[in-house]
Amino acid sequence: MHGLGMLGRVICQKCWKLRPPSSRFLTSLSGDTDRFNGITVDVEQVPHTMSDEEFHGLLHDSLQIWKSEKLNAAWLKMPIQYGRFLPIAAKFGFQFHHAEENNCLLKLWMKESGEDKTPRFATHQVGVAGFVFREDTESVLVVKDRKSKFSYWKFAGGLSDLGEDIGDTAEREVFEETGVRTEFQSVMSVRQQHNQPGAFGRSDFFFVCRMKPLSYDINPCNEEISMCQWMNIHELYEGSKSVAPITKRILDLAMYGLKEGFHNVDVYAEDMESVYRGLRYKLYHRPYPIS
């Protein structure tokens, strides 16, 4: 009996080597279903020891289950370390939806009847600039980009980060480019543009915000900015050839605001409670009398 027990253990160890844990325990991929009747699967649940042939069989069997459950779409979150499985997923019809950092997301539309209504990944990028005005000297903070092919005076700004409010972007970008600290006041205008070079094929939203200066000393970022200064708003306005059309229009709005009051120009941000528990958002609108 003792010898048979030893033999049994040897046989089991050989079987373990021939059949890794992936093929012995994982019979289908698990994931989270959503309200659009789709399933999202993290491929990281698959052991690294799984062979390409085993993953092919696992994905085949999983798709059969999902189709029998009449799911509309399947999403595979594929870590970069599992890139060898990409050609296998492609054979089943999966396509890239988007990739970011160390993961890509693949999508397969499984509903036989009906148009594929899954949304594309991000369609727009968001840029923000700050119109910073000194009331005591009637001057505006302006910069010239070091790497731009246009030699225009412009307002400091840049792209908004994921999860960053527009006003916070304006404060951060103005400080990073000029060294001047500011406080967000309002949105003065929004530009929408398509086919913008350098936007990776995305459309573009560009917000210009009115900012209150909290400091005045300039310490520009030499890597990005070639020139930075406080310039008299009338001098800047009259030298229209040295500014882009959008800057000229913002100056028009600013001159009107200085004359008639910025309440006739500004779009303010109101902090609101979301219908999704625990979340809040900014609602931008013109001021109005509250009864």
Catalytically active residues, by annotation: 176
Q: Which residues of 141-154 are buried (b: 16+ CB within 10 A; e: fewer)?
A: bbbbbeeeeeebbb
119/112 Cα distance (integer angstroms):
18
Residue 288: which of 267, 273, 271, 272 has the closest Cα?
A: 267
Of 53, 45, 56, 42, the residue nearest 19 (C-alpha): 53
Rounded Cα gap, residues 109 and 130, in angstroms: 43
Strands 280-285 and 124-134: unpaired
- Token look-up 């999860």 returns 163
Residues in Cβ contact with 139 at an 8 Å cutoff, skipping those fewer than 6 apart = 133, 230, 231, 232, 233
203-213 vs 124-134, strand pairing mode: parallel
